[in-house]
Amino acid sequence: MRSPVSRRQFLKSTVFAAGAAVVGTGPAAAGPGTEEEPLATLIDISRCIGCEECVYACNDANARKFPEPEKPFPTMYPSRVPVEDWSDQRDVTDRLTPYNWLYIQYATGTKDGEEITLTIPRRCMHCQNPPCVKLCPWGAAKQQPSGLSRIDSQLCLGGSKCKDVCPWDIPQRQTGVGLYLDILPAFAGNGVMYKCDRCYDRLEKGEQPACIEACPEQVQVIGRRSEIIALAKERAQEMNGHIYGLDENGGTHTLYVSPVPFDQLTYDTGKGKPHLKPVKDTMADGSNLALALVIAPVAGAAAALGKFYNRIKEEA
Ligand code: SF4
Ligand code: SF4
Ligand code: SF4
């Protein structure tokens, strides 16, 4: 279903559900991604019916960003970095993959003495202080002023540091694509990491992320984080519910509200299926802070070099 919210309305208001502006904050309201305050999304899982319209919308909207690997893959020395190839399983939607940046997680819990099933859209949490960005040694992961984080597929070497430091193991590797093939095919990270980029390109055009626009139940709302937090608290109060993302990993730009406490949910978890446990602030850890300080200049130089290499390659 296409949202009746026009681009003009989107630019005028700051908090949106698919189909309706929920809150507007007057003259300070600007377009998405202002530097005044980052945007956040609220995912109200009590509303989700598990139809996967959001999943298919995400796949359609982002298909041109998906990897097209070259085969056969180079042999790695040593072979410590495994080949990860999802190119023949592009239709998989029951977990995160390089070709599926959003999936619906099934969970059960008890509400008012009755067992209920909940369906939870899962993707990158877009942390306020993202370790995937701060600890990427190649400067390939960046955070934009709008609060979203994204991995530049032109610069990523697939070393998986972002996934290793992500509390939810969100980024997913595809082998046989990216810069490593040109510079260190046998020694670098064996691919490129992929994840939800919160439809940065749609936001830049004044459009909503595809998953939000496609949802028939207005499960997701996007707006300034302070307003999203206020809305999350309001919804939580209405349903006597619980919020996830206020403090997890130091606070995220994706918040969930649930009628069942998150630590009382039972759900399928594992590879490509993130948990919903409490998470301490990764970047508050002294060694990560120190590492981030060391990495920052190196990552900046590496990113500049990677961009220069890509430009030369394009012009050749
Ligand atoms: S489209 Fe909306 S209702 Fe359907 S699965 Fe996605 S979030 Fe849930
Ligand atoms: S959830 Fe993981 S991949 Fe997403 S911003 Fe946070 S650390 Fe990065
Ligand atoms: S915000 Fe965009 S990239 Fe992220 S899950 Fe939604 S549709 Fe996919």
8 A C-beta contact, residue 174 and residue 85: yes
| Mean pLDDT for back-to-back runs of 10 residues, the chain (316 residues) | 37 45 33 70 98 98 96 78 92 98 98 97 98 94 96 91 96 91 72 96 96 98 97 98 98 98 96 97 91 83 76 74
Residue 151 lies in a domain: yes
**Both structure tokens of 119:** 């369906």
- Looking at the CA of 125, name the nearest ligand: 2
Among the residues of 50-111, which ranges form H helices? 53-62
In a domain, 207, yes or no: yes
pTM: 0.89
Residue 177 lies in a domain: yes
In testing the pocket of ligand 2, which one of 39, 169, 170 has its CB within 8 Å of the most ligand atoms?
170
Of 54, 221, 256, the one to substitute when testing ligand 1's pocket (max ligand atoms within 8 A of C-beta) is 54
Burial, 31: exposed, middle or buried (Cβ in 10 Å; 0-12, 13-18, 19+)?
middle
Within-domain flag for 2: no
CA quadruple 150, 167, 253, 38: dihedral sign: negative
81 within domain boundaries: yes
Q: Which residue reads 């802070």 in tokens? A: 289
- Binding site membership of 230 for ligand 1 (Cβ less than 6 Å): no
Q: Whose CA is nearest to atom 1 of ligand 3?
A: 198
Task: Give the total number of structural domains in the chain.
Answer: 1
Q: Does residue 214's CB lie within 6 angstroms of at least one atom of ligand 2?
A: no
Distance 213 CA to ligand 2 centre (A): 22
pLDDT of residue 305: 78
Dist. CA 285 → ligand 3 center (Å): 29
CATH number of the domain enclosing 86: 3.30.70.20
Distance between Cα 209 and ligand 3 center (Å): 6
Q: Atom 5, ligand 2: which residue's CA is nearest?
A: 126
pLDDT at 270: 95
pLDDT digits (tens, 9 = 90+) for 5-29: 333 344 444 555 434 333 333 223 3
User: For residues 23 and 26, what is the distance between their CA atoms, to the nearest angstrom?
Assistant: 9
The label of the residue with tokens 């080949």 reads 83
Q: Does any domain span residue 272? A: yes
Closest ligand (CA of 211): 3
In a domain, 246, yes or no: yes
Ligand in nearest proximity to the CA of 62? 3
**236-288 per-position pLDDT tens digit:** 999 999 999 999 999 999 999 999 999 999 999 999 999 999 999 999 988 89
Enclosing domain of residue 98: 7-315
Is there an atom of ligand 1 within 6 Å of 54 CB?
Answer: yes
Residue 150 forms part of a structural domain: yes
